[in-house]
């Protein structure tokens, strides 16, 4: 009898260990492509939708390499009317043509190195987002630099790393990919006219945001500045972050006038910023709206094809972390 009990205990332990291992692999390792942006889950006015993130359109679907030079490129990348009519002026810290002006400045702020890209656009169409491997799914990641290169980005920062969570709205390019509410979470909404606004997911559904004209919704947070006022307290931090940390943030000063901000951290040269310090810094730069994106080892800024900050996860090795999405400026 004792032998049978011991045997069942061993079987139970093996099954439990196998299930736990699979659950961990499924959450953090196994890649699942849910949707490719050209085939949206659902959009405003579409009565057929799939909201269960465990529902996969084609579990075996993979992203294939384009067969020609133009296949797989976005419309703006192949449309000659979207290309600057005159030769852009490109310098070590700037880019300017008739539609886009970017000025990059490195600041020394509270024992930290902070990289700021001041961006002026003629149209909101040049403010874009992109997924790793050009698809929405679980555990799909790429380096920020790889995504920026593929999209032809002039400037790029890491996004909200939606793939690290199973909750929080995901809207990209006017397409709703995830409508699972993350209670109490702040989101950054970018509307079709380029206006940025911070909302709480408790107050509005993802479908309503889409109906109201949201083009992109980023769900990391928290909001840093709203209507010109700093909205985080000196001691507030997201649960997984240290007080001083590498940071990534995006903000808006005025119509079609934006700030992309990345702070180095976790090194002897650059300690990093708290959320409150980041908010105060962006307020000093004139931001009327500002939002905290994924930070830590994810914090990366790309300008003219190069990583210009020092991404690090442990403070000892300078290297990019693979993430699930980017925010960028480009054609």
Could you state, in chain order, the average pLDDT of each consecutive group of 10 residues for the chain (331 residues)? Answer: 58 48 48 63 35 36 39 47 83 98 98 98 98 96 98 98 96 98 97 98 98 98 98 80 85 98 97 96 98 97 98 94 98 97
Q: For the segment 221-247, what is each residue's pLDDT rounded down to a tens digit? A: 999 999 999 999 998 876 555 578 999
pLDDT for the residue numbered 237? 77
pLDDT for the residue numbered 61? 39
**Are the beta carbons of 136 and 177 closer than 8 angstroms?**
yes
Measure the CA–CA gap between 299 and 73, rounded to whole angstroms.
26
Q: Chain-centre distance of CA 80, in angstroms?
A: 28
**Are the beta carbons of 292 and 224 closer than 8 angstroms?**
yes
pLDDT for the residue numbered 122? 98
Measure the CA–CA gap between 133 and 63, rounded to whole angstroms.
7
Question: Is 64 exposed, middle or buried (CB count within 10 Å of its CB: 0-12, 13-18, 19+)?
Answer: exposed
Helices (H), the chain: 2-28, 75-78, 144-151, 206-211, 275-284
3-state secondary structure of 118: strand
Rounded to 5, what percent of the chain is helix, strand, coil?
20, 35, 45
Torsion 117-123-126-127 (CA) sign: positive
Measure the CA–CA gap between 247 and 230, rounded to whole angstroms.
17
With a CB cutoff of 8 Å and minimum separation 6, the contacts of 317 are none
Q: How many CB atoms lie within 10 A of CB 109?
A: 16
pLDDT for the residue numbered 75? 47
**Are the beta carbons of 94 and 104 closer than 8 angstroms?**
yes
3-state secondary structure of 75: helix
**Are the beta carbons of 127 and 19 closer than 8 angstroms?**
no
- For 7, phi then psi, to 5°, come to -65, -45
Domain chopping of the chain, boundaries? 31-330
pLDDT for the residue numbered 96? 98
**Are the beta carbons of 190 and 158 closer than 8 angstroms?**
no
Measure the CA–CA gap between 102 and 142, rounded to whole angstroms.
24
């Amino acid at each position: 009898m004792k032998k049978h009990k011991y045997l069942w205990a061993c079987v139970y332990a093996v099954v439990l260990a196998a299930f736990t291992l699979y659950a961990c692999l499924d959450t953090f390792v196994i890649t699942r492509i849910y949707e490719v942006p050209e085939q949206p889950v659902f959009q405003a006015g579409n009565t057929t939708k799939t909201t269960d993130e465990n529902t996969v359109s084609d579990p075996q679907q993979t992203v294939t390499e384009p067969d020609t030079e133009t296949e797989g490129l976005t419309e703006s990348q192949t449309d000659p009317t979207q290309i600057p009519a005159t030769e852009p002026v490109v310098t070590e810290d700037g880019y300017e043509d008739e539609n886009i002006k970017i000025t990059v400045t490195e600041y020394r702020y509270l024992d930290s190195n902070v990289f700021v890209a001041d961006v002026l656009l003629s149209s909101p169409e040049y403010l874009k987002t992109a997924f790793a491997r050009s698809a929405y799914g679980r555990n799909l990641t790429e380096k920020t630099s790889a995504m920026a290169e593929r999209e032809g980005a002039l400037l790029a920062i890491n996004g909200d790393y939606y793939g690290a969570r199973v909750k929080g709205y995901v809207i990209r390019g006017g397409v709703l990919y995830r409508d699972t509410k993350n209670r109490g979470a702040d989101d950054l909404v970018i509307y079709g006219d380029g206006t940025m606004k911070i909302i709480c997911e408790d107050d509005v559904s993802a479908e309503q945001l889409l109906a109201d004209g949201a083009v992109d919704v980023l769900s990391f947070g928290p909001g840093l500045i709203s209507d010109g006022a700093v909205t985080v307290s000196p001691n507030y931090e997201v649960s997984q972050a240290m007080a001083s940390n590498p940071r990534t943030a995006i903000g808006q000063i005025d119509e079609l006038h934006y700030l992309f901000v990345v702070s180095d951290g976790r090194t002897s040269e650059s300690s990093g910023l708290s959320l409150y310090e980041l908010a105060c810094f962006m307020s000093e730069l004139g931001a009327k709206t500002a939002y905290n994106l994924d930070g830590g080892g994810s914090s990366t800024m790309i300008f003219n094809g190069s990583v210009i900050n020092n991404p690090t996860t442990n403070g000892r090795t300078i290297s990019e972390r693979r993430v699930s999405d980017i925010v960028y400026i480009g054609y």
